[in-house]
């Protein structure tokens, strides 16, 4: 299991499009992936609605956890997806 934190820099936070991209990447990884606002409860990263429900805004710190094969590689890719500029 691997956990990483990152700060969201997108001016509008995690809205529908980046949430969908992240959820698709998490599901495609074949790993168990969760995402949480720092200090909050984790939600399944494969669920767009769960991600949107976190209300992640610019400047928020999020924690991503990956459990499964190639967790290090998967989490690197997922963090890149989360922080990619729109």
Q: Which residues are catalytic?
A: 15
Distance separating alpha carbons of residues 46 and 44, to the nearest angstrom: 5
Q: DSSP secondary structure string, 19-78?
A: HHHHHHHHHHTTSEEEEEETTS--EETT-HHHHHHT---TT-EEEEEEESTTHHHHHHHH
Do you know the residue count of the chain?
A: 86
């Amino acid at each position: 299991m691997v956990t990483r934190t990152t700060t969201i820099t997108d001016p509008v936070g995690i809205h529908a499009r980046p949430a969908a991209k992240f959820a698709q990447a998490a599901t495609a990884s074949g790993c168990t992936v969760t995402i949480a606002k720092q200090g909050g409860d984790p939600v399944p990263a494969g669920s767009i609605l769960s991600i949107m429900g976190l209300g992640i805004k610019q400047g928020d710190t999020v924690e991503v956890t990956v459990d499964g094969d190639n967790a290090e590689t998967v989490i690197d890719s997922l963090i890149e997806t989360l922080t990619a500029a729109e």
